[in-house]
């Protein structure tokens, strides 16, 4: 029993950054933009947040910086893919490469060649609910984790229960129709990118300001790509994206646990599973997958 609760707790923790990334990516893709810049955006946000927290001594300033970086990189993505109408995947990859390069470059400038960077003196604490009960291992989480779970219904509400969400989705499905209804396709897509970038920034900040309290080169380690897989796996729906993130987190938690227990098992199989499942899911649904219809298509008004 305790094993299961510990596993659950680890699952929630591991799912957190991926959930932020996936929710951010989901919002952006719902508006018709595939942001392959997510991997680099999360990395540079994690880095920037860490540096700001370290220099200022305020983890909150760190968090704000991480969010700001996420938004700035998303605005760059918007400029290239919306305003200039450039090929989304080349721009996105370019941003990932740029942000990764910048993070490593600046890290070296600020911290020199030290292999172990100075950790934060104060990182975000865990919030222990149900202390002393059997549920304690499940609910010993950072505030980010609780917040992530609040973002799921919040985004579901925003997407499906507000005029803003209706407009955002219309822009990703049929920008011509949105345009004729007087909705600014450009502005709506930019706003989606800003929301998405902020969420990606929080995801990066969670790793460097809470879970690790430090920054390493491999801190994101493909979590951005996982997030993209999970968005597809989750069919661009908040609750199903949550399920996908939990599935991934669960598999990884299980893998860590089994390794710790000394079980001989190629743990990569478990890590690979979400990707394979996503590809299988794409193959099965094929054309019927509920891709936002305008994904990857720059919008230009006719004539």
Partner 1 sequence: MNLVEMRGITKRFGALAANDNVDFVVRPGEIHALLGENGAGKSTLMKILYGLYQPDEGSIVIDGSDEPLRSPADAIARGIGFVSQHFSLVPTFTVAENVLLGYEGRFRLDPAEMNARVAQLAAANGFSIDPAAIVGKLSVGQQQRVEILKALYRDCRVLILDEPTAVLTPRDTQALFEILRKLREQDLAVIIITHKLDEAIENTQRVTVLRLGKVVGSQDTSSTTSAELARLMVGRQTVPVQREAATGSTQRVVLDVNGLSVADKRGVQALRSVTFQVHAGEVVGIAGVAGNGQSELVSILTGMLQPQSGGVSVDGKPVILGDPRACTQHKIGRIPEDRLRGVIGDLSVADNLMMEQLDQFTRVGHLQPAAIAEHAQRLIEDFQIKASPGDPVRTLSGGNIQKVILARTLSQDPAVVIAAQPTRGVDIGATEYVHQKLTEQKARGAAILLVSEDLDEILLLSDRILVIYNGQLVGEFASDAVDLDRLSMLMTGAEKTG
Partner 2 sequence: MSLGLRLERLPSPLWLRAAIPFIAIAITFLLVSVLVILAGANPLAVAYELLIDPLTKNSARADILVMATPILLTGSAVALAFAGGYYNIGAEGQLLAGAAAAALIGQYVGDLSAWVAIPLMIVGGFIAGALWALIPALLKVRLQVDEVVTTLLMNSVMGYIISALLNGPWRDPVSGWPQSPTIALSAQFPRIIERTRVHLGFLIAAVVVIALWWILTRTRFGLELRAVGKNRDGAQFLGIRVGRTMLTTALISGGIAGLAGVSEVGGIHYYLIGSLSPGFGYTGIIVATLGALTAPGVLLAALFLALVSRGSLTASRELDVPVYLGDVIQAVLLLVMLAVLLLNRYRIRRA
Residue numbers at the binding site for partner 2 (CB under 8 A): 34, 36, 80, 84-87, 89-91, 93-98, 100-102, 104-106, 108-109, 222, 225-226, 228-229, 232, 266-269, 271-272, 275-276, 278-279, 282-283, 286-287, 289, 291, 296, 298
Binding mask 178-197 for partner 1 (x = CB under 8 A): x-xxxx--------------
The burial class, CB within 10 Å (0-12 / 13-18 / 19+), for 26 is: buried
Which of partner 1, partner 2, none sits in contact with 161, Cβ below 5 to 8 A by type?
partner 1
Binding flag, residue 163, partner 1 (CB under 8 A): yes
| Candidate residues 37, 173, 204, 214; the one interacting with partner 1 per rule CB under 8 A | 173
Joined together, the tokens standing for residue 289 give 């997958």
DSSP state of 288: G
The residue with tokens 């939990």 is 246
Residue of 34, 99, 95, 44 whose CA lies nearest to 67: 44
Those residues whose C-beta lies under 8 Å from the C-beta of residue 283, and which sit 6 or more positions away, are: none
Range in contact with partner 1 (rule: CB under 8 A) among 43-51, 77-85, 132-140, 176-184 = 176-184
288 counts as binding partner 1 under rule CB under 8 A: no
Binds 84, which of partner 1, partner 2, none (CB < 5 to 8 A, cut-off by type)? partner 2
Answer yes or no whether residue 295 interacts with partner 1 by CB under 8 A. Answer: no
* Interior angle at CA 41, CA 37 and CA 44, nearest 5: 140
Instruction: Give the span between the Cα atoms of 52 and 60, in whole angstroms.
Output: 9
- Which is nearer to partner 2, 5 or 225 (by Cβ)? 225
Please select the residue that binds partner 1; options are 154, 176, 263, 279, rule is CB under 8 A.
176
Stretch that binds partner 1, among 112-120, 142-150, 170-178, 264-272 (CB under 8 A): 170-178
Residue (182 or 266) nearer to partner 1, CB: 182
C-beta atoms surrounding 95 within 10 Å? 24
Residues 143 to 162: which contact partner 1 by CB under 8 A? 160-162
Q: How far apart are CA 256 and CA 300, in angstroms?
A: 48
Residues touching partner 1, count (CB under 8 A): 21
Query: Is the CB of residue 49 less than 8 Å from the CB of residue 214?
Result: no
| Token pair listed for 93 | 């990859």
Tokens representing 272 are 């690979």
166 binds partner 1 (CB under 8 A): yes
CA 165 to CA 243: how far, in whole Å?
A: 21
- Looking at the Cβ atoms of 31 and 59, the one nearer to partner 2 is 31
């Amino acid at each position: 029993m305790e094993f299961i609760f510990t596993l659950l707790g680890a699952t929630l923790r591991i799912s957190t950054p991926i959930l932020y990334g996936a929710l951010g990516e989901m919002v952006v893709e719902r508006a018709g933009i595939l942001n392959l810049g997510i991997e680099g955006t999360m990395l540079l946000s994690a880095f920037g947040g860490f540096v700001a927290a370290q220099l200022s001594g305020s983890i909150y300033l760190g968090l704000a910086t991480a969010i700001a970086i996420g938004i700035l990189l998303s605005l760059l993505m918007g400029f290239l893919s919306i305003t200039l109408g450039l090929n989304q995947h080349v721009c996105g990859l370019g941003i990932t490469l740029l942000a990764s390069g910048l993070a490593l470059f600046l890290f070296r400038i600020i911290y020199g060649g030290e292999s172990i960077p100075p950790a934060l003196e104060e990182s975000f604490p865990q919030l222990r609910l149900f202390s002393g009960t059997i549920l304690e291992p499940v609910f010993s989480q950072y505030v980010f984790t609780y917040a992530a779970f609040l973002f799921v219904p919040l985004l579901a509400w925003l997407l499906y229960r507000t005029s803003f969400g209706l407009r955002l989705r219309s822009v990703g499905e049929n920008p011509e129709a949105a345009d004729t209804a007087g909705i600014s396709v450009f502005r709506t897509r930019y706003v989606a990118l800003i929301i998405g970038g902020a969420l990606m920034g929080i995801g990066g900040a969670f790793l460097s300001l809470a879970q690790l309290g430090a920054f390493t080169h491999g801190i994101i380690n493909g979590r951005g790509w996982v997030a993209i897989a999970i968005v597809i796996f989750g069919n661009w729906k908040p609750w199903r994206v949550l399920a996908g993130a939990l599935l991934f987190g669960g598999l990884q938690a299980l893998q860590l646990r089994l390794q710790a227990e000394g079980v001989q098992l190629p743990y990569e199989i478990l890590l690979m599973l979400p990707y394979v499942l996503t590809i299988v899911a794409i193959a099965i649904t094929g054309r019927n997958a509920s891709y936002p219809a305008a994904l990857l298509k720059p919008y230009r008004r006719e004539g």
